[in-house]
Amino acid sequence: MAERDSCPYCATRSLELRKSETAIPYFGRVLILASICSDCGYRRNDTMPLEDHGPSRHVIKVSKLDDLRIKVARSGTGSIEIPEFGLRLDPRDESQSFITNIEEILVRFEESVNRLKKLGRTSKMAECNKLLHEISLARQGKARFTIVIEDTQGNSSVTKEDRILRSSLVSSKEYSGIIVAYAR
Ligand SMILES: [Zn+2]
C-alpha cells in the first residue's frame, strides 16, 4: 500500500511511501520504509527495527590499528558517537540499518567533514582541518578514541569475530581489546 507525502527535496506532494516487513541477519524483523519521489527522483530507504530488546550502550576503546576491524551492526535506532572528536551520527539523520567496521565509521565521518568544508563556511575551516587530521591519525591506528553506540531498542551490536554480540542484560564484559558495556 502506498501513501503520498511532501518530498523533502522538491517539496511537491509526489513522495510515495511504501512499507514492507522482512527479517535480516543481525537485526531480526524490520520494517522497510521506501520513499521515492516521482517528480525529482529523490529516494530514501529507512529500516525500523520491529524487535525491542530494551536500551543498550556499547563502548569500544580503540587504541591500535587492529581495533579498526571491529564490526558494528548499527540498527535504525542506534546512534554512533566519537566523543573525543565531537562527532555523532544520529538515527534522525540516517535511519538505515548497516553493518560496518570502525574504519568505515571513520571514513563516513571524514566524508561528512569534507562535505561541511565544501559548504565553505570559512569560520569552520580550521576546525574542519583539525578534525580531518585527527581522523587521519585514527585511521592509521595512531590515535586513541572511543566509539559509543547507543540504541533505544538494543538492536545494535558489536563484535570482533564473525559472531555479533547482542546486548540484552545490564552487565559489563570485556572482549580482548573491546570493552562492551551494557548500561541503563
Ligand atoms: Zn521530489
pLDDT by residue (tens digit) across 85-106?
A: 989 888 876 667 788 889 999 9
- 36 C-alpha to center of ligand 1: Å? 8
The C-alpha atoms of residue 127 and residue 90 are separated, in whole angstroms, by 21
- 116 C-alpha to center of ligand 1: Å? 23
pLDDT by residue (tens digit) across 31-45?
A: 888 889 999 999 888
Boundaries of every domain in the chain = 2-49, 56-181
- 18 C-alpha to center of ligand 1: Å? 15
pLDDT of residue 59: 87
- 152 C-alpha to center of ligand 1: Å? 31
pLDDT of residue 122: 67
Domain 2-49: give its CATH code.
2.20.25.420
Point out the residues of the chain with pLDDT beneath 50: 162-184
- 6 C-alpha to center of ligand 1: Å? 8
- 4 C-alpha to center of ligand 1: Å? 12
Please tell me the CATH superfamily of domain 56-181, with its number: ZPR1, A/B domain (2.60.120.1040)
pLDDT of residue 174: 32
The C-alpha atoms of residue 165 and residue 157 are separated, in whole angstroms, by 6
pLDDT of residue 163: 44
pTM above 0.85, yes or no: no
